């Protein structure tokens, strides 16, 4: 407590209420924007691949039904929907570059020397489209996250949020994963999503690409189920 009190009283310290509040706000809204962008891409993909949407509908009806809201504990009983959400994240690649890290010691990497303190950015998109881990990385396929028995299968190349050890991953990752599942299943429980254009004519090209891959603008018909 003594060291913490001294830190708070230190005029040069960055530990103060304003910075703490800003950190929470940035964490919340950063995660919210990523969830929103992923859902927008996801709904577009479901209109392009209606057979995938139909299977999600079937699983939601079988596990959740129509008379209650989806809950967090449903996720473990819905492997196909869980796989679809992962494949949406992989395929859309919303954040191609992960948050920066810094090497803690002089490091040799592929013939280069990275001095201690060097900022390092992980190109997450290169892992998400790695043909060594995804058989046809340019194709949208929930099977990338399903085993031969239809159960959910983890893939170590899946890094949609960030890279690094558990204590260095995105702080809002757990919250974002659950928010994605609950919003996604709640919408699909109630609606069938259809495009006013032929599914074959749907363009999945990002509206803008850089630090973020921004989903293209589109129209959707949400038909009550």
| Residue 170 marked in a binding site | yes
Which residues contact residue 16 at a Cβ distance below 8 angstroms, ignoring those fewer than 6 apart? 8
Angle of the 17-48 helix axis to the 79-92 helix axis, nearest 10: 100
Token pair 């994605």: residue: 180
Q: In this structure, what are the phi and psi dihedrals at residue 60, rounded to the nearest 5 degrees?
A: -60, -45
- Residue 125: closest CA among 174, 84, 92: 92
Give the helix/strand (H/E) hosting 214. strand 213-214
How far from 37 is each of 7, 28, 137, 205, CA to CA, in Å?
38, 14, 20, 14
For every residue of 106-148, DSSP letters joined together read: -EEETTEEE-TT-EE--BHHHHHT-TTTSSSTTS--GGGGB-T
Please enumerate, by residue number, every residue annotated as part of a binding site: 170
* Residues flagged as binding site for heme: 170
């Amino acid at each position: 407590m003594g060291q913490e009190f001294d830190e708070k009283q230190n005029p040069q310290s960055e530990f103060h209420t304003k910075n703490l509040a800003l950190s929470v706000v940035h964490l919340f809204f950063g995660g919210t924007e990523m969830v929103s962008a992923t859902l927008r891409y996801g709904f577009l993909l479901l209109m392009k691949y209606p057979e995938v949407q139909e299977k999600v509908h079937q699983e939601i009806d079988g596990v959740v039904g129509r008379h209650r809201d989806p809950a967090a504990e449903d996720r473990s009983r819905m492997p196909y929907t869980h796989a679809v959400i992962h494949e949406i994240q992989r395929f859309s690649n919303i954040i191609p570059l992960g948050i920066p890290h810094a090497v803690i010691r002089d490091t040799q990497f592929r013939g280069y020397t990275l001095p201690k303190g060097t900022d390092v950015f992980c190109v997450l998109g290169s892992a998400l489209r790695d043909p060594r881990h995804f058989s046809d990385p340019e194709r949208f396929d929930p099977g990338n996250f399903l085993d031969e028995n239809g159960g959910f299968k983890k893939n170590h190349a899946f890094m949609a949020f960030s890279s690094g050890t558990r204590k260095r991953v995105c702080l809002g990752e757990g919250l974002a994963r659950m928010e994605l599942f609950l919003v996604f299943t709640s919408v699909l429980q109630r609606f069938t999503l259809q495009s006013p254009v032929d599914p074959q004519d749907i363009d999945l090209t990002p509206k803008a690409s850089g630090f973020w891959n921004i989903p293209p603008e589109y129209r959707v018909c949400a038909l009550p189920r």
